[in-house]
Amino acid sequence: MKPFELREFSTAELKQKLHDLREESMSMRFKKQTETPKPSDIRKTKKDIARIKTIMREREDTVDGE
Q: pTM for the full model?
A: 0.83
pLDDT in tens, 3-28: 889 999 999 999 999 999 999 999 99
Give percent of the chain above pLDDT 90.
59
Q: How many CA atoms does the CB half-sphere of 66 hold within 13 Å?
A: 5
Q: What does the pLDDT read at residue 31?
A: 86
Please give the full DSSP string across 11-58, using - where no structure is assigned: HHHHHHHHHHHHHHHHHHHHHHHHS---HHHHHHHHHHHHHHHHHHHH
What is the band of 33 on the pLDDT scale with cuts at 50, 70, 90?
Answer: confident
CATH topology of domain 3-65: Helix Hairpins (1.10.287)
